[in-house]
Amino acid sequence: MADGSIRKGTRLSGAAWLIRALEEEGVETLFGYPGGAIMPVYDALVGSRLRHVLVRHEQGAALAAIGYARASGKVGVCMATSGPGATNLVTGIADAFLDSVPLLVITGQVPTTLMGTDAFQEVDVFGITLPIVKHSFLVRRPEDIVATVREAFAIAREGRPGPVLIDLPKDVAVAMVEADPPTRIERRPAPPSVSGLARARALLAASERPVIYAGGGVGMAGAEDALRRFHATTRAPAVLTLKALGALDPDDPMVLGMLGMHGNQGANHAVQEADLLIVAGARFDDRATGRLATFAPKARVIHLDADPAEIGKLREADAAICGDLARALDALAQPLAIDPWRARCAAWRAEHAWRYDAPGTDVYAPLLLKQLSEKARARFGERTVITCDVGQHQMWVAQHCRFPRISAHLTSGGLGTMGFGLPAAIGARFARPDCEVICVSGDGSIMMNVQELATLHRYGLKVKIVLLDNSALGMVRQWQELFFAERYSEVDLSDNPDFVEVARAFRIPAIAIDRRDQVGPALDALLAAETSMLLHVRIDPRANVWPLVPPGKSNGEMIERRAA
């Protein structure tokens, strides 16, 4: 078996069959942390072709696997033991579920003879994760392991991608067995409905004010190029969700940017005045729509999605197209005579272009991130991946950085997971060693998984970290200021550690700045570094993210600053 293939009649332990099945699926890298119930699998890893990345917390394993999946387009794989190991993966599983990331999660379990006895480190992870996985497997026979892995990969990839759990009892992992290699499972997306396409083409042809509303499903479906072709043919104004940033050229005058709560005002105005929405791989998320009842009130809807459950779930579709997104977009593409509408949207785009002329000498975060994006592009071209944590800095990144592809921007959308950025950057770095990986974090978020600085050092990874420090839980503080009468509750982080010293303790070089005139040289030093490096940036604790759609309001009611 020198070639590593699975051959009929081979006798191996269940754990060895698991590793062999992963190899056969093309897995190269997986992320995990060992423990008692999963130990047979770790024993089988010795001498395998798989590269195992030892993280310092199981949540880091799941989030790194998500970063790997989103940067590579492959299924991410993570692994942990039973009990607390499995429960520490749950946040990452939920993140993958809400952002539709293909993920295989392998957990060790107590022996089948002890299941249900409250044994040491026994937790029903199968039951715990049922609402946040596409499918779960509890393997009770070692003969079933290879077929289970094959099925798990197929499910994780097909249709709307998502996480799949394999729970492996220890006695099943150690049992010796022969297994016949099953046929590889390959499934192709269903072709789009012909009747839906005909109705959609008629709506598109009759439209005077169409807007393309693209979501993260475009990237999951491998339909970015098709979306770009559709946009080039129709020249319809386009808006993007947080997870679709990069799907279209941000410098194109017909790309209005991100819509929604912290989106560009021009994008929101266009949607509110549109008579037709071409919704591609988006799900009418509340952060994108604002008050749903007033969202795009004049528009009919063409909804394209791989998941039939999304079509009509929140907004009725006048034309529904479920299936292969790329084929549907190519079939819909047609030139449109909408020059007055294009001119109106271009005017909104110009009127509401981001401004960077903030007064004072303090570091202005939007300008710093704009400079970071420009300098990275000048130095590395399109070989830059930016991962991001959750909070004010997440919105500033979305607003002020420019992304050439969806896979160049990795952030936690649906779950909003603080601590996402650093592990995701580790996963992205393993997935794309040809790219420069930059993690933008906040002083709240970085502490959630700061232990993964040790993983950076262990593997000699080059990840650049920009840490925006406002000594507060900034987004919560902003909402308390605006909507809770400035009653600030548990948002003060002024007792933060010295983050430069923290990084250096993990043997990561670091520098700190707090003035605007230091930004350019600091960014140059950061991007030129040949190792990982942390740039600690102190910013004004009172800085807010603008514009903002207040809760319960229409996207047409954005505010640019707090009313006097």
C-alpha 547/C-alpha 557 separation (Å) is 10
Whether 208 and 338 have beta carbons less than 8 Å apart is answered as: yes
Q: How many residues does the chain have?
A: 564
User: What would the pLDDT profile of 414-444 be if each residue is shown by its tens digit?
Assistant: 999 999 999 999 999 999 999 999 999 999 9
User: Bridge-partner residues for 19, per DSSP?
Assistant: none
Whether 418 and 391 have beta carbons less than 8 Å apart is answered as: yes
Q: Which residues contact 278 (CB under 8 A, 6 or more apart)?
A: 200, 204, 210, 211, 212, 213, 236, 302, 304, 332
Three-state SS at 510: strand
Q: Which residues contact 351 (CB under 8 A, 6 or more apart)?
A: 265, 266
CA dihedral 327, 329, 335, 340 (to 10 degrees): 180
Q: Which pLDDT belongs to residue 232?
A: 98
* Residue 414, CA atoms < 13 Å, CB-side half-sphere: 20
Of the candidates 313, 282, 23, 12, which has an alpha carbon nearest to the alpha carbon of residue 142? 12
Whether 327 and 191 have beta carbons less than 8 Å apart is answered as: yes
C-alpha 107/C-alpha 286 separation (Å) is 33
* DSSP class per residue in 339-394: HHHHHHHHHHHHHT-------SSBB-HHHHHHHHHHHHHHHHTT-EEEEE-SSHHH
At residue 331, what is the residue type? A
Three-state SS at 41: helix
pLDDT per residue as tens, the chain (564 positions): 334 455 666 789 999 999 999 999 999 999 999 999 999 999 999 999 999 999 999 999 999 999 999 999 999 999 999 999 999 999 999 999 999 999 999 999 999 999 999 999 999 999 999 999 999 999 999 999 999 999 999 999 998 999 999 999 999 999 999 866 555 566 565 666 667 899 999 999 999 999 999 999 999 999 999 999 999 999 999 999 999 999 999 999 999 999 999 999 999 999 999 999 999 999 999 999 999 999 999 999 999 998 888 998 999 999 999 989 999 999 999 999 999 999 999 999 999 999 999 999 999 999 999 999 999 999 999 999 999 999 999 999 999 999 999 999 999 999 999 999 999 999 999 999 999 999 999 999 999 999 999 999 999 999 999 999 999 999 999 999 999 999 999 999 999 999 999 999 999 999 999 999 999 999 999 999 999 999 999 999 999 999 999 988 999 999 987 543
User: Bridge-partner residues for 218, per DSSP?
Assistant: none
Kindly report the pTM of this predicted structure.
0.95
| 3-state SS, one letter per residue, for 427-479 | HHHHHCCCCEEEEEEECCCHHHCHHHHHHHHHCCCCEEEEEEECCECHHHHHH
C-alpha 397/C-alpha 407 separation (Å) is 15
Q: Which residue has the tokens 């492959």?
A: 74
Cα–Cα–Cα angle for 325, 327, 329, nearest 5°? 65
Whether 522 and 513 have beta carbons less than 8 Å apart is answered as: yes
C-alpha 386/C-alpha 388 separation (Å) is 6
Q: How many CB atoms lie within 10 A of CB 383?
A: 15
Whether 497 and 443 have beta carbons less than 8 Å apart is answered as: no
Q: How many CB atoms lie within 10 A of CB 563?
A: 6
C-alpha 52/C-alpha 67 separation (Å) is 15
Of the candidates 126, 53, 55, which has an alpha carbon nearest to the alpha carbon of residue 93? 126
C-alpha 71/C-alpha 525 separation (Å) is 25
Q: Which helix (H) or strand (E) holds 168?
A: strand 163-169
Q: Which pLDDT belongs to residue 185?
A: 61
C-alpha 227/C-alpha 280 separation (Å) is 8
- What structural domains and CATH numbers belong to the chain? 11-178 (3.40.50.970), 194-351 (3.40.50.1220), 365-550 (3.40.50.970)
With both helix axes pointing from N to C terminus, report the angle between 519-528 and 365-380 in degrees, rounded to the nearest 10.
40
- H helices then E strands: how many in the chain? 22, 20
Of the candidates 275, 269, 213, 221, which has an alpha carbon nearest to the alpha carbon of residue 242? 213
Active-site residues, by number, are 58, 120-121, 170, 475
Q: Which pLDDT belongs to residue 561?
A: 74
Q: Which pLDDT belongs to residue 193?
A: 66
User: What would the pLDDT profile of 501-534 be if each residue is shown by its tens digit?
Assistant: 999 999 999 999 999 999 999 999 999 999 999 9
